[in-house]
Amino acid sequence: MSELKTISFVLDGEITEIDFNKSGYSPTTTLLQYLRSLPDHKGVKEGCGEGDCGACTVVMGELRQDKIEYRAYDSCLIFLPSVHGKQVITAENLGNSGNMHPVQQAMYDFDGSQCGFCTPGFVMSIFALYKQEYEVDKEEINDALTGNLCRCTGYKPILDAAEFACKNKEDDHFCECEAGIVKMLKSVRRDKTISIITDRQKYYIPFSKAEALRLRKDFPQAVLLTGSTDVALRVTKKHELIPEIIDLSQVNEYNYTKTENNIISFGSNFSMEDVRRQSKETLLALYEMLGVFGSRQIRNRASLGGNIGSASPIGDSLPVLMAYDAEVELENHKEKRTVKLRDFITGYRTTICAADELISGVNISLPGKDRIVKSYKISKRKDLDISTVSACFSLKLNDGKVEDIAIFYGGMAAWTKRASKTEAALKGKEWSRVNVEVAMKQLEEDYKPIADARSGEKARNIMAANLLLKFWSESRRSA
Amino acid sequence: MESINHESGKLHVSGEAIYIDDIQVSDRLLHGYLYTSPYAHAKIKSFDLEAAKAVKGVHAILSYKDIPGHNQMGPVFHDEPVMVEGLVQCIGQTIFVIAAENQEAADEAKKLIKIDFEILEPIITLEDAIAKNSLLQPERKIETGDIEDGFKKSSHIIEGEFATGGQEHWYLETQICLCIPGEGKEMKVYSSTQHPSETQSIVAEVLGTGKHEIEVECRRMGGAFGGKETSGNHVAAWTSLLAVKTGRPVKMRLFRDEDQKITGKRHPYHFKYKAGFDANGKIIAADIQHFANGGYATDLSMAILERGMLHAENAYYISNMRIVAKAMKTNLPSNVAFRGFGAPQGIVCIEHIIDRIAGILHKDPVEIKTMNFYGIESNNVAPYGAKIENNRLHVIFNRLMQSSDYISRRVAIDDFNKENEFFKKGIALTPVKFGISFTTAFLNQAGALINIYSDGTILVNHGGTEMGQGLYTKIRKIAAAEFGVSLKKIKVNATNTSKVPNTSATAASSGTDLNGMAVKDGIDKLKKRLAYFAAEQIISDYQKPAKPENIIFENDLVFDSEFPDLKYNFDELISKAYVSQVSLSATGFYKTPDIHFDRAAGKGKPFHYYAFGMAVTEVLLDVLTGRVKILRTDILHDVGESIIPNIDKGQVEGAFVQGLGWVTGEDMKYDKNGNLLNHSPDTYKIPSIQDIPQDFRVELLQGYPNPGTIRRSKAVGEPPFVLALSAWFAIKYAVSAVVNHSKEPKLALPATNENILLAIAEMK
Q: Specify the pLDDT at position A315.
A: 76
Q: Parse chain A into domains and list their residue ranges.
A: 7-187, 194-251, 255-478
Q: Does B102 contact A at CB distance below 8 Å?
A: no
Q: Does B274 contact A at CB distance below 8 Å?
A: no
Q: Does B762 contact A at CB distance below 8 Å?
A: no
Range with lowest mean pLDDT among A152-166, A350-364, B1-15:
B1-15
The reply to whether B7 belongs to the active site is: no
Which of A123, A156, A459 lies nearest to residue B754, judging by beta carbons?
A459
Kindly identify which residue of chain A lies nearest to residue B624, measuring between CA atoms. Answer: A466
DSSP string, A389-426: EEEEEEEEEETTEEEEEEEEEESSSSS-EE-HHHHHHH
* 8 Å CB contact of A111 and B5: yes
Q: Does B697 contact A at CB distance below 8 Å?
A: no
* 8 Å CB contact of B757 and A463: yes
* 8 Å CB contact of A108 and B5: yes
Statement to judge: residues B405 and B332 lie in one domain: yes
Statement to judge: residues B559 and B656 lie in one domain: no
In terms of phi and psi (left: phi > 0; alpha: psi -120 to 50; beta: otherwise), the region of B430 is beta
CA distance A213 to chain B (A): 33
Q: Specify the pLDDT at position A2.
A: 58
d(CA B339, CA B341) in angstroms, rounded, equals: 5
Statement to judge: residues B610 and B758 lie in one domain: yes
Q: Specify the pLDDT at position A312.
A: 84
pLDDT in tens, B191-210: 999 999 999 999 999 999 99
Instruction: Kindly tell me if the per-residue pLDDT of B1 is higher than 50.
Output: no
* 8 Å CB contact of A91 and B14: yes
d(CA A316, CA A146) in angstroms, rounded, equals: 17
pLDDT in tens, B134-174: 999 999 999 999 999 999 999 999 999 999 999 999 999 99
* 8 Å CB contact of A91 and B688: no
Task: Tell me, yes or no, whether B9 lies in a domain.
Answer: no
Q: Report the domain count for chain B.
A: 3
d(CA B402, CA B397) in angstroms, rounded, equals: 9
Which of B627, B657, B761 lies nearest to residue A154, judging by beta carbons?
B657
DSSP category for residue A55: T
Q: Does B29 contact A at CB distance below 8 Å?
A: no
* 8 Å CB contact of A154 and B225: no
pLDDT in tens, A384-416: 999 999 999 999 999 999 999 999 999 999 989
Q: What is the CATH number of the domain that holds B575?
A: 3.30.365.10
Average of per-residue pLDDT across A184-209: 97
Dihedral sign, Cα of residue B684, residue B689, residue B690, residue B694: positive
CA distance B190 to chain A (A): 17
- pLDDT bin (cut points 50, 70, 90) of residue B390 is very high
Q: Does B257 contact A at CB distance below 8 Å?
A: yes
Residue B693 burial by Cβ neighbours in a 10 Å radius (0-12, 13-18, 19+): buried
Task: Tell me, yes or no, whether B144 lies in a domain.
Answer: no
* 8 Å CB contact of A91 and B13: yes
Residue A442 burial by Cβ neighbours in a 10 Å radius (0-12, 13-18, 19+): buried
Rg over alpha carbons for chain A, rounded to the nearest Å, is 23
DSSP category for residue A166: H
d(CA B472, CA B476) in angstroms, rounded, equals: 6
Catalytic site residue from B85, B139, B718, B744: B718
Statement to judge: residues B694 and B748 lie in one domain: yes
Statement to judge: residues B385 and B509 lie in one domain: no
* 8 Å CB contact of A153 and B654: yes
CA distance A288 to chain B (A): 16
Instruction: Kindly tell me if the per-residue pLDDT of A479 is higher than 60.
Output: no
Average pLDDT, chain B: 97
Task: Tell me, yes or no, whether B224 lies in a domain.
Answer: yes
Q: Does B753 contact A at CB distance below 8 Å?
A: yes
Statement to judge: residues B85 and B209 lie in one domain: yes
Domain A255-478 belongs to what topology?
A: Enolase-like; domain 1 (3.30.390)
Share of chain A above pLDDT 90, in %: 95
* 8 Å CB contact of A95 and B14: yes
Question: Among B225, B222, B232, B108, which residue's Cα sits nearest to residue B179?
Answer: B232
Q: How far is CA A292 from CA A202, A298, A453, in A?
A: 35, 11, 19
Which of B5, B11, B680 lies nearest to residue A50, judging by beta carbons?
B680
Task: Tell me, yes or no, whether B66 lies in a domain.
Answer: yes
Residue type (1 letter), A228: S
Kindly identify which residue of chain B lies nearest to residue A155, measuring between CA atoms. Answer: B689
CA distance B169 to chain A (A): 9
Please give the CATH superfamily to which domain A7-187 belongs: Beta-grasp domain (3.10.20.30)
pLDDT in tens, B114-124: 999 999 999 99
CA distance A250 to chain B (A): 28
Range with lowest mean pLDDT among A44-48, A64-68, B410-414:
A64-68
Statement to judge: residues B313 and B228 lie in one domain: no
Q: Specify the pLDDT at position A311.
A: 87
B525: domain range?
A: 445-591
Kindly identify which residue of chain A lies nearest to residue B759, measuring between CA atoms. Answer: A459
d(CA A305, CA A297) in angstroms, rounded, equals: 17
- Interface subset of B 462-481, CB within 8 angstroms of A: 467-470
Statement to judge: residues B208 and B61 lie in one domain: yes
Q: How far is CA B171 from CA A204, B165, B226, B265, B682, in A?
A: 38, 18, 10, 12, 15
Q: Which residues contact A23 (CB under 8 A, 6 or more apart)?
A: none
Task: Tell me, yes or no, whether B127 lies in a domain.
Answer: no
Kindly identify which residue of chain B lies nearest to residue A454, measuring between CA atoms. Answer: B683
Kindly identify which residue of chain A lies nearest to residue B660, measuring between CA atoms. Answer: A154
Statement to judge: residues B698 and B759 lie in one domain: yes
Statement to judge: residues B386 and B308 lie in one domain: yes
pTM: 0.98
What residues of B are in contact with residue A120 (Cβ under 8 Å)?
Answer: 12-15
Average of per-residue pLDDT across A69-93: 98
Task: Tell me, yes or no, whether B139 lies in a domain.
Answer: no
Statement to judge: residues B316 and B368 lie in one domain: yes
Q: Of A315 and B581, which is predicted with more confidence?
A: B581
pLDDT in tens, B347-371: 999 999 999 999 999 999 999 999 9
* 8 Å CB contact of A120 and B257: no
Backbone angles phi, psi at B248, to 5 degrees: -125, 160
pLDDT in tens, A325-343: 999 999 999 999 999 999 9
d(CA A254, CA A374) in angstroms, rounded, equals: 28
d(CA B292, CA B330) in angstroms, rounded, equals: 10
pLDDT in tens, B535-556: 999 999 999 999 999 999 999 9
Is beta strand A57-64 parallel, antiparallel or unpaired with respect to A67-74?
antiparallel
Q: Which residues of B290-310 are buried (b: 16+ CB within 10 A; e: fewer)?
A: bbbbbbbbbbbbbbbbbbbbb
Average of per-residue pLDDT across B282-310: 98
Statement to judge: residues B425 and B507 lie in one domain: no
Which of A114, A119, A382 lies nearest to residue B650, judging by beta carbons?
A114
Angle at the Cα of A252 (from A247 to A257), degrees rounded to 5?
120
Q: How far is CA A436 from CA A186, A430, A439, A472, B707, in A?
A: 58, 9, 5, 7, 65
- pLDDT bin (cut points 50, 70, 90) of residue A65 is confident
Which of A201, A238, A381 would you mutate first to test chain B, the one with the most B CBs within 10 A? A381
Is beta strand B490-492 parallel, antiparallel or unpaired with respect to B495-496?
unpaired
Q: Does B543 contact A at CB distance below 8 Å?
A: no
Kindly identify which residue of chain B lies nearest to residue A237, measuring between CA atoms. Answer: B257
pLDDT in tens, B669-687: 999 999 999 999 999 999 9
Query: Which CATH architecture fits A194-251?
Result: 2-Layer Sandwich (3.30)
Average pLDDT, chain A: 96
- Chains A and B form CB pairs within 8 A to the count of 244
Task: Tell me, yes or no, whether B18 lies in a domain.
Answer: no
CA distance A116 to chain B (A): 5
Kindly identify which residue of chain B lies nearest to residue A469, measuring between CA atoms. Answer: B624
CA distance B222 to chain A (A): 5
- pLDDT bin (cut points 50, 70, 90) of residue A3 is confident
Q: Specify the pLDDT at position A478.
A: 63
* 8 Å CB contact of B8 and A113: yes
- pLDDT bin (cut points 50, 70, 90) of residue B87 is very high
What residues of B are in contact with residue A455 (Cβ under 8 Å)?
Answer: 754
Question: Among B368, B338, B340, which residue's Cα sits nearest to residue B352?
Answer: B368
Of B239, B262, B285, the residue at which a domain comes to its end is: B262
Q: Specify the pLDDT at position A1.
A: 43
Kindly identify which residue of chain A lies nearest to residue B650, measuring between CA atoms. Answer: A153
User: Within 10 A of B419 (CB to CB), how many other CB atoms are there?
Assistant: 7
What residues of B are in contact with residue A378 (Cβ under 8 Å)?
Answer: 625-627, 753
Q: Does B225 contact A at CB distance below 8 Å?
A: yes
Instruction: Kindly tell me if the per-residue pLDDT of B84 is higher than 80.
Output: yes
Q: Does B675 contact A at CB distance below 8 Å?
A: no
Q: Are B609 and B708 in contact (CB under 8 A)?
A: yes
CA distance B92 to chain A (A): 17
Which of A97, A142, A151 lies nearest to residue B690, judging by beta carbons?
A142
